[in-house]
Amino acid sequence: MQPYRGIDLLNIEAQLTDEERQARDAVRAFVEAEALPAVIPCFREGTFPAALIPRMGELGIFGAHLEGYGCAGVGPVAYGLIMQELERADSGFRSFASVQSSLAMTAIHSFGTEEQRERYLPDMAAGRLLGAFGLTEADHGSDAGAMETRARTSSGGYVLDGGKMWITNAGVAGVIVVWAKLDGAVRGFLVDASLPGVRTEDIRNKLSMRMSVTSALFLDGVEVGGDALLPGTRGLGSALECLNAARYSIAWGVCGAAGDCLHTAIEYTKEREQFGRPLASFQLVQQKLADMATALSKAQLLALQLGRLKAAGALHWSHVSMAKQGNTRAALEIARTSRDLLGAAGITDDLPPMRHAMNLETVHTYEGTEHMHQLILGRHLTGLNAIS
Ligand SMILES: Cc1cc2nc3c(=O)[nH]c(=O)nc-3n(C[C@H](O)[C@H](O)[C@H](O)COP(=O)(O)OP(=O)(O)OC[C@H]3O[C@@H](n4cnc5c(N)ncnc54)[C@H](O)[C@@H]3O)c2cc1C
């Protein structure tokens, strides 16, 4: 097979700045040389390659979109391109970086005090400290505002009780941003994972996102200091602000997974012969390849436009909902179609499309399901709320 050099049929490359190209190329080289070799063993084992975390820190991947505190401070398009490269290897890499950066670090950067930012962000940027973001509960997923986790004030600060479910990196994190109701309002708390009363249990039987650690989190009378509250958090909207940053990274990331699937399908069908001809020479196969290429190119343009809007300070949550659900659906269809074109060879993990498709099932569900984003967009278009 020809080596992967990215798929860019609409010459998006020409619109990138030098900074954006450099950021992408540095991460592409890391993916090629270091991330990809780790994917299959880790996916099979259900672990994240911890040895690569300091390298990701050195490359400036964590909190790359943030200014100061040891973060790279790159623009939104460069950040998106980094996510695209990571997810080309495996959605678990993008998820790891995105939870650390767009969720945990963004929460601290946006809603923390100067002292909290200085205490946590430099170590998180370097990958010395891992973060997680605990919003979802076992009984409250899409309707996160109905959460039951509670915080109450105490003489020393706050006491937290409750539980979170499906929390990426919670099992490996040093600090967890826990969303809990304090006097009826949703607030964010920085919870040290080693505190008494904090317990995690990894979910080991996932068929999707196997390279990413996902855990249940239990909080049983956890005493935190007064400085654990992120004072800028004001209701569920603060959590959703972080989620929007993460959804932005998904809009780009899934293009990486889809690009890898399309590349694999093209290369495989050019080599594989049936009925005395390469599969790629059949019209039905070419139709599928053409549809995949068109869908991927549209998704890439949508992600790029989101990046430009974000840089101009004009990004609206409806744009993010459109791209999160639209690009994920496109990527999932590309991965499934690509798997189909590989025949039986597409069933194992020797080739990536089925692994990407399995991962993308999680991406379809987390950070707001496809339905939720359609309903958010529907509400924006009609002014009528069909969510609740
Ligand atoms: C691998 C993985 C990692 C995750 N990481 C994190 C994390 O780090 N932090 C975190 O907080 N959460 C995380 N999540 C949780 C994720 O965000 C939730 O799974 C998601 O929000 C959906 O919630 P749910 O699973 O409870 O589904 P539900 O809300 O129960 O939804 C089930 C189905 O019902 C549909 N539905 C729900 N409400 C409506 C409605 N009003 N109208 C129409 N359809 C509706 C949904 O679209 C979906 O199809 C993760 C999940 C996974 C799988």
Q: Where in the chain is the domain with CATH 2.40.110.10?
A: 131-234
User: Is pLDDT above 80 for 239?
Assistant: yes
Which atom number of ligand 1 is nearest to the Cα of residue 203? 1
Q: What is the CATH code of the structural domain delimited by 131-234?
A: 2.40.110.10
Q: Where in the chain is the domain with CATH 1.20.140.10?
A: 237-382
Q: Please state the rounded mean pLDDT for residues 312-325.
A: 98
Q: Is the beta carbon of 146 within 6 A of some atom in ligand 1?
A: no
DSSP state of 235: S
Ligand 1 site-directed mutation target among 98, 136, 203, 238, most atoms within 8 Å of CB = 136
pLDDT digits (tens, 9 = 90+) for 330-387: 999 999 999 999 999 999 999 999 999 999 999 999 999 999 999 999 999 999 999 9
Ligand 1: which residue has its CA nearest to atom 20?
366
Q: What is the CATH code of the structural domain delimited by 12-126?
A: 1.10.540.10
In terms of Cα–Cα distance, which of 44, 72, 59 is closest to 348? 44
pLDDT of residue 297: 98
Burial class, 9, CB count within 10 angstroms (exposed 0-12 / middle 13-18 / buried 19+): exposed
Determine the Cα–Cα distance for residues 363 and 130; give it in Å rounded to an integer. 21
Q: Is 60 left (phi over 0), alpha (psi -120 to 50) or beta?
A: left
Ligand 1: which residue has its CA nearest to atom 27?
141
Going from the Cα of 169 to the center of ligand 1, the distance in angstroms, rounded, reads 17
User: Is pLDDT above 80 for 107?
Assistant: yes
| Confidence band for 131, pLDDT divided at 50, 70 and 90 | very high
Ligand 1: which residue has its CA nearest to atom 37?
142
pLDDT of residue 6: 86
pLDDT digits (tens, 9 = 90+) for 257-297: 999 999 999 999 999 999 999 999 999 999 999 999 999 99
Active site residue 87: no
Backbone Cα Rg of the chain: 21
Number of CB atoms found within 10 A of residue 320's CB: 26
Going from the Cα of 163 to the center of ligand 1, the distance in angstroms, rounded, reads 16
Going from the Cα of 141 to the center of ligand 1, the distance in angstroms, rounded, reads 5
pLDDT of residue 81: 98
Q: Is the beta carbon of 31 within 6 A of some atom in ligand 1?
A: no
| Confidence band for 5, pLDDT divided at 50, 70 and 90 | confident
Q: Where in the chain is the domain with CATH 1.10.540.10?
A: 12-126
Q: Is the beta carbon of 136 within 6 A of some atom in ligand 1?
A: yes
Average pLDDT value over all residues in the chain: 97
User: Is pLDDT above 80 for 2?
Assistant: no
Q: Is the beta carbon of 167 within 6 A of some atom in ligand 1?
A: yes
Q: Which long-range contacts (CB under 8 A, 24 or more apart) does 369-378 make?
A: 369/142, 370/325, 370/328, 370/329, 371/142, 372/142, 373/321, 373/322, 373/324, 373/325, 374/321, 374/325, 376/317, 376/318, 376/321, 377/318, 377/321, 377/322, 377/325
pLDDT of residue 63: 98
pLDDT digits (tens, 9 = 90+) for 156-181: 999 999 999 999 999 999 999 999 99
DSSP state of 212: S
Going from the Cα of 305 to the center of ligand 1, the distance in angstroms, rounded, reads 27
Q: What is the CATH code of the structural domain delimited by 237-382?
A: 1.20.140.10
